[in-house]
Amino acid sequence: MGWGLTLTFLRWGPQFKLHRSLFQKTFAQSNVKSFRGIQLHEARKAVRCLVADPEDWEGITHLLTTSIVFRIAFGHEIRDKTSPYLALSAAAHDATTGGGIPGTSLVDVFPPARFLPEFLNPSGALRHARRSRPAIEAVREVPWRATLAEIKAGTAPSSFMRTHLARLAAAAPPPDLTVADVKGATSTVLVAGGNTTWSTVLACMLFLTKHPAVQRRVCAELDAALGAGDGGGSGALPAARLPAFDDLPALPYLARFTREVLRVLPLNPLVIPHKSRREDTYRGMRIPAGSVVFANAGAMNRDPATYRDPDVFDPDRYLRGEPYPAGNFGFGRRKCPGNFLALASVDIFLATLMAVFELKKVVGPDGEVREPEPGLLVGLGG
């Protein structure tokens, strides 16, 4: 598909460790606090847009999450939905989510199939990959070239790209770091960070709508934390003020709600597929070297031995000592290093949204309420 040097798809080794270190320096739990101003600005911008056009909630939330990661990656805000960068992000999202189940295509099983001419190609996934290359190349190259010109002119704002290119230009650059590494890492910030966060926001909005009692508790907690009047944050009256990051510790129910959404509807129920590097045995089962291995986070998060009534949506289960869901961001050294940034973006947007709006189920032309139902695309991160 043309992803190039992207952390998600790098084989374990020195280059993987190099890319991992680039992200850890930027997105460690203590470091992501430096992005709170960006996240707060984008959350409030999104809510202002929703006030003006509530019907376009899907497009506006896509703008929210894409602008956050674009500002972090390249330094520039995406101001509105007419930006070509938003279209680039959407095309990359479609490319990523439309390729079927990762790790199961003909090319995964028989890599030389990538060279088959189109008239001999039986694989829908391979056809999708070839069609997707221009979109992926554009999302990697277009903002990179524009920002590089600004860096050379001395006008570029602070960004992930500028920071790590400056390290290359330093008197003692990091060993083995190349421009190609910085380019791959920067595009990973944009694609991996924006679309997965967007999907999480949409899932949270769905469950707030689906469970009105849960939504009322979120709003009541906001009212108490923000000093709202009667009905503040519940759609009748606005809260006395909009939330800031300092208010999030006073919103534990909202935090439990977000984690319960991740448990019930993990974005990648089988996570990113791995390949075993050597032969292994697990509980008496032989795993040959080169096997494609899936971690079934969906099953882990609904294990009745771990979660009581696992099919029930219950944010209070974590007060009983049940663990927060595993696997939404991967496992071990492959765990997504942007997880702290993503959760912070989701939490501050939801708090801002619910301080202003009430979400209701759609009523159809027949007068019947339409019950919203969750669903997933067969792809990666959707």
Express each pLDDT in 198-241 by its tens digit: 989 999 999 999 999 999 999 999 999 988 644 444 444 455 58
CA 120/CA 127 separation, integer angstroms: 11
CA 218/CA 251 separation, integer angstroms: 8
Contact indicator for 335, 268 with CB cutoff of 8 Å: no
CA distances 55 to 49, 52, 128, Å, are 10, 9, 31
The mean pLDDT value of the chain amounts to 88
Q: Give the pLDDT score at 381.
A: 54
Cβ neighbours, 10 Å, residue 105: 19
Residue 339: Cβ-neighbour burial (10 angstroms; 0-12, 13-18, 19+): middle
CA 252/CA 17 separation, integer angstroms: 35
pTM of the predicted structure, to 2 decimals: 0.90
Question: What angle, rounded to 10 degrees, do the helices at 84-97 and 179-210 form?
Answer: 80
Contact indicator for 301, 264 with CB cutoff of 8 Å: yes
Q: Give the pLDDT score at 374.
A: 77
Mean pLDDT in order along the chain per 10 residues (382 residues): 82 89 87 94 96 93 94 93 88 77 78 87 85 88 94 94 91 84 90 84 95 96 79 47 94 97 89 87 93 89 96 96 89 85 96 95 88 71 51
Q: Give the pLDDT score at 352.
A: 97
- Give all domains of the chain, ordered by start, each with its CATH number: 14-356 (1.10.630.10)
CA 177/CA 5 separation, integer angstroms: 12
Q: Give the pLDDT score at 5.
A: 84
Q: Give the pLDDT score at 222.
A: 94
Q: Give the pLDDT score at 165.
A: 93
